Structure 1
Amino acid sequence: MAGVLDSVNQRTQMVGQNRLELLMFRLRGRQIYGINVFKVREVLPCPKLSSIPNSRQVVRGVSHVRGETIPIIDLSMAIGLLPIPQENLATSFVIITEYNRKTQGFLVSGVERIMNMNWEDIVPPPSGAGKDVYLTAVTRIDDKLVEIIDVEKVLAEVSPLGEDVTEHLVTRGSEREQGTLPILVVDDSSVARRQIERCLTAIGLEVVVRNDGKQALDYLKEITADGSKAEDHLSMVISDVEMPEMDGYTLVTRIRENQSLRDVHVMLHTSLSGVFNQAMVKKVGANDFMAKFSADELAERVMEILDQA
């Protein structure tokens, strides 16, 4: 267990190399699940939980961790499995994470180990898995399937974020000059794609979506194959950072290396809030970044960027 905690503290070392460290854990049964260590603050044995009146059943309680009161979500229950039995809490663990500007703990049955991996070895879930599946990607480690949880989908159901743009920004968007080129949105989470697309269309913008960095790069090369520039087709690119096959940092690097793509405006839009590395954003050449998810903040920032172009 000490080795796991030590590795968590080194979580930023793989950023920008299309690599990640994957924390593997179990819920119920033998299936192994994964979460990017970059979003993990710490892993600890399940602390004492205090119940919250009228809370969702999936929230097993709150715990006081290093002076902060943190909700503890039963991750097994959140993805549609049976809850972790009360009598097993003493041998369970909590993974403290930071997503979308919030801190929460995920209750899991056991923590396995951390693997250093390449994003190219992590692929989207099978197309036949269905739209309601709680997976954002899968990989194989030691001939075992590891399922990577779509945490944004889990949190959107447990603690929904406001997805609607306020009326004054909708009005401001409608008053802007028409004819703005589409925005390319790149995100592996279906929930995040929906949130961003809904936000941008509310202010009158056209959106093109792709599910990961590789798909986005292929699309960019396709639309510029005639010798045109990316900015002839798109007003900007908004990309997640963590994605299978090619992460957002690598996507930006590839864009800046390509003569036809290099001048397009790129915003990194990520749930990596508390540990977000601004130096890495500048290193790879992104123009801007924003932590997920505030519909008003995103709408306002995008309109500012377009008005300055």
Structure 2
Amino acid sequence: MAAGTQTGSQRFLTMTLGNEIFAIDIFSVREILDYTDITRIPQTPEFMRGVVNVRGNAVPVVDLKMKFGLGRVEQTLNTRIVIVEIKRDDTVSIMGALADSVKEVLELEMDRIDPPPRMGAAVRTDFIRGIGKHGDRFILILEVEKVFSSEEIQDISQVLGEASQDDTSLPRQEGPDEAFLR
């Protein structure tokens, strides 16, 4: 994304992974869950923490902190699982993103988002859509489709057979999470 080529604003959900602030496009977020028991699936990558039960469906959960090489998300009162939708072709995959905390929904001006850095980022630069500026802080904006497109994640989705869902199989929850997202 080239700075200055797009105008307007976009909304992002911000979350923390260690001392870093990350953001994902609000339209990718289905809901936000308090930390719950995660069932480990054998022979999966370490960053694939397992699955959680979301209204009767097994949803894979990725520890974003581990995936990005920043350590491991430890359970606290602030730990959240962000349920995201990843659209690929004609299917929608549902994944959980484990984060240290969820902060807020921000509206960022598109001209305040710079392209990802070429070197020195805490995460692989292909995972980063851009770097947003909000006040005196920088926010790493994630490219959800790339974060959740590795072969390991696709393999676990096939093992579960339940991660690829159409929009009617896992209805969007109404309630406090929806109010938070508006």
TM-score using structure 1 length: 0.43
Establish whether residue 102 from structure 1 lines up as the match of residue 93 from structure 2: yes
Structure 1 67/104 Cα, relative in aligned 2: closer, same or farther at 3 Å? same
Structure 1 64/55 Cα, relative in aligned 2: closer, same or farther at 3 Å? same
TM-superposed CA distance for 1:69, in Å, is 1.2
TM-superposed CA distance for 1:90, in Å, is 5.2
Partner of 2:132: 139
Letter matched to residue 58 of structure 2:
T
Query: Partner of 1:76: helix, strand, or coil?
Result: helix
Partner of 2:67: 78
Distance 1:132 1:32 in 2: 15
TM-superposed CA distance for 1:129, in Å, is 4.6
TM-superposed CA distance for 1:18, in Å, is 4.0
Does the Cα contact within 8 Å between 2:108 and 2:134 map onto a contact in 1? no
TM-superposed CA distance for 1:92, in Å, is 0.8
Name structure 1 gaps, 5 residues minimum.
1-16, 162-272, 275-309
Structure 1 128/54 Cα, relative in aligned 2: closer, same or farther at 3 Å? closer
TM-superposed CA distance for 1:150, in Å, is 2.8
Which of residues 3, 10, 14 is equivalent to 1:24? 14
Q: What is the percentage of aligned positions where both structures have the same residue?
A: 26
Establish whether residue 148 from structure 1 lines up as the match of residue 141 from structure 2: yes
Structure 1 147/71 Cα, relative in aligned 2: closer, same or farther at 3 Å? same
Distance 2:118 2:34 in 1: 36
Aligned-CA RMSD value: 2.5
Distance 1:83 1:46 in 2: 14
Aligned length: 145
Partner of 1:36: 25
Does the Cα contact within 8 Å between 1:79 and 1:154 map onto a contact in 2? no
Q: With CA pairs under 8 Å and 6+ residues apart, which has the higher RCO, 1 or 2?
A: 2
Note the 1:269-284 alignment, pairs <5 A: 274=167
Does the Cα contact within 8 Å between 1:44 and 1:95 map onto a contact in 2? yes
**CA deviation vs aligned residue, 1:214-246 (integer Å, no higher than 9, x gap):** xxxxxxxxxxxxxxxxxxxxxxxxxxxxxxxxx
Note the 1:288-307 alignment, pairs <5 A: none
TM-superposed CA distance for 1:48, in Å, is 1.6
**CA deviation vs aligned residue, 1:176-207 (integer Å, no higher than 9, x gap):** xxxxxxxxxxxxxxxxxxxxxxxxxxxxxxxx
TM-superposed CA distance for 1:32, in Å, is 0.9
Instruction: Point out the structure with the larger helix share.
Output: 1
Does the Cα contact within 8 Å between 1:41 and 1:98 map onto a contact in 2? yes
Instruction: Point out the structure with the larger strand share.
Output: 2
Distance 1:56 1:127 in 2: 27
Distance 1:154 1:69 in 2: 20
Does the Cα contact within 8 Å between 1:123 and 1:138 map onto a contact in 2? yes
Note the 1:99-138 alignment, pairs <5 A: 99-100=86-87, 101-129=92-120, 132-133=124-125, 134-138=127-131
Letter matched to residue 114 of structure 1:
V
Distance 2:128 2:120 in 1: 9
Distance 2:145 2:27 in 1: 15
Distance 1:19 1:47 in 2: 34
Does the Cα contact within 8 Å between 1:51 and 1:61 map onto a contact in 2? yes
Which of residues 26, 46, 55 is equivalent to 2:44? 55
